[in-house]
Amino acid sequence: MPEVKTGVRCRLTSQLGVVLPSEIAVSLLRDPAPSVRAAACGCVRAGHELIAELVSMMGDPDIEVAIASACALGHIGHAEARRPLKRYLAERPSLRIVEALSRVAADDEALVLLSRTGRARRELIKPAISALEEIESPRALNAANALKRFSRRTE
**Last residue in a domain, options 24, 50, 76:** 76
Tell me the residue range of the domain where 111 lies. 85-155
Number of domains into which the chain is organized: 2
**Last residue in a domain, options 37, 54, 76:** 76
Residue 50 belongs to domain with CATH number? 1.25.10
For 47-67, give one letter per residue: b (16+ CB within 10 A) or e.
eeebbebbeebbebeeeebbb
What is the chain's Cα-based Rg?
16
Which pTM value belongs to this model? 0.81
pLDDT by residue for the chain (155 residues), tens digit each?
355 466 556 565 555 565 667 777 788 888 888 888 888 887 777 776 788 889 999 999 999 999 999 999 999 899 999 999 999 999 999 999 999 999 998 888 999 999 999 999 999 999 999 999 998 789 999 999 999 999 998 87
Spatial separation of the C-alpha atoms in residues 94 and 71, rounded to whole Å: 11
**Last residue in a domain, options 76, 93, 108:** 76
Rounded to the nearest 10 degrees, what angle do helices 125-135 and 108-120 cross at?
A: 160
Angstrom distances, CA of residue 151 to CA of 60, 120, 135? 37, 11, 20
Residues 103 and 127 in one domain: yes
Residues 8 and 64 in one domain: yes
Residues 8 and 41 in one domain: yes
Spatial separation of the C-alpha atoms in residues 70 and 73, rounded to whole Å: 5
